[in-house]
Amino acid sequence: MPSVNADCLFLKACRREKVPRPPVWMMRQAGRYLPEYREVRKTASFLDMCHTPELASEVTLQPIRRYDFDAAIIFSDILIPLIAMGAPFEFPEGGPRLAEPFDDAKALERLKRVDAVTGMPWVHEALSLTRSQLDPSKALLGFAGAPFTLFCYLVEGMGSKLFPKVKQMMFRQPELARELLQLLAEQIGEYMVAQLEHGADAVQLFDTWAGLLHPDDYEEFALPYARQVFDRVAQTGAPTIYYVNGNPSLLSAQSAAGSTIVGVDWRSTLREVNRKVPSNVGIQGNLDPLVLLSSPEVVAQRTNRMLQEMDGRPGYIVNLGHGVIPQTPLDSVQAFVETVRASDRSASS
């Protein structure tokens, strides 16, 4: 299998080596803002796309062809392993839904432990296929939902503003919550290792809902389980990214979870993040994805500001603070990527 070059820009940044410019990619870069994605999506449901390695691989490569990002993230969803574990999520308009949430004492009996390779083969096949087609200068990223964020969807059965069923289980049946989180941590650790064995060069753990927690509850219900995942993946030596959304007060704890890089949302200045994150941990982020609704000029200004705020810090990866939204104009994304590329110190001017 053709594999990634050791001097790939993305991997150099992960090792905190000196780079001529930081690498750039976008969360949700394979998605509905791209007309070529919408074309494929007309022919298949979202779930069918996730379960068909050829389609998943095709849409993974689309943003690389159009924008030449430094990393491709495999097309899948954080809920795919949960479906394999016996939680049949559907994806109607308005987001994922589970007909029978795992919100009572029977939750643990209804979930099955599955083999991380044979029980959820689609993402691994998509990764191998994609790695064989991706230029060796580009990194291929695998990903998974963090145990706490997956627990949120399992127990609530959908996205939510406050996740009341989740909080109720945490506060009324903490033992049950811990058992579910423990099972998820073990499964997700093995799932990420399997992704790395099938062609992923690095993996990102998405803790999208951990920001809903009081810092003490984060330390109890999110951090230990994310840390278990990173401890497992550390045995492979591959770089890891830990993304948390919605709560800048968690940054120090997030930085101690054991990932190579922390992914941050747009609610902090990078100046502040740069100061607070220990120097042996890299930083990824953090343009507000809705800034892409402005104009190419404003996008370039805001992107340059991030580059200035991080100037000189090794281990910086340019990204948005959350996923790109479907309404995003294509020329804004172009301006974002071009601004990063234009900062290349080795380029002649």
Which span sits near ligand CP3 by CB under 6 A: 90-98, 105-113, 261-269, 305-313?
90-98
Which span sits near ligand CP3 by CB under 6 A: 68-76, 160-168, 177-185, 251-259?
68-76
* Contacting residue, 73, 111, 226, 250, with ligand CP3 by CB under 6 A: 73
Q: How far is the CB of 92 from ligand CP3 (least distance, A)?
A: 9
Sheet holding 282-287: strands in order across?
71-73, 139-145, 202-207, 240-244, 261-263, 282-287, 316-320
Q: How far is the CB of 123 from ligand CP3 (least distance, A)?
A: 10
- Binding pattern for the stretch 118-157 against ligand CP3, x by CB under 6 A and - elsewhere: -------------------------x--------------
Residue number, 121 or 159, with CB nearest to ligand CP3? 159
Catalytic residue among 16, 41, 97, 341: 41
Cα–Cα distance for residue pair 32/14, rounded to 1 Å: 28
Catalytic residue among 28, 131, 227, 302: 28
Catalytic residue among 33, 37, 67, 153: 153
Q: Are 221 and 185 in contact (CB under 8 A)?
A: no
* Contacting residue, 62, 130, 208, 339, with ligand CP3 by CB under 6 A: 208
- Using the rule CB under 6 A, is 66 a contact of ligand CP3? no
Peptide bond preceding 245: is omega within 30 degrees of 0, i.e. cis?
A: no
State the DSSP code for 248.
G
* Contacting residue, 16, 36, 41, 298, with ligand CP3 by CB under 6 A: 41
- Using the rule CB under 6 A, is 303 a contact of ligand CP3? no
- Using the rule CB under 6 A, is 91 a contact of ligand CP3? yes
Which of 134, 124, 140 has its CA nearest to residue 23?
A: 140
Which of 283, 194, 199 has its CA nearest to residue 244?
A: 283
Q: Using alpha carbons only, what angle is made at residue 60 by residues 340 and 84, rounded to the nearest 5 degrees?
A: 130
User: What are the residue ranges of helices labelled H in the chain?
Assistant: 9-14, 35-43, 46-51, 53-67, 80-84, 107-110, 121-133, 147-156, 164-172, 174-197, 215-221, 223-234, 251-255, 270-276, 296-310, 330-342
Cα–Cα distance for residue pair 220/108, rounded to 1 Å: 19
* Contacting residue, 13, 24, 78, 310, with ligand CP3 by CB under 6 A: 78
The residues of the shown chain that bind ligand CP3, judged by CB under 6 A, are 27-32, 41, 46, 73, 75-79, 91, 95-96, 143, 159, 206, 208, 323
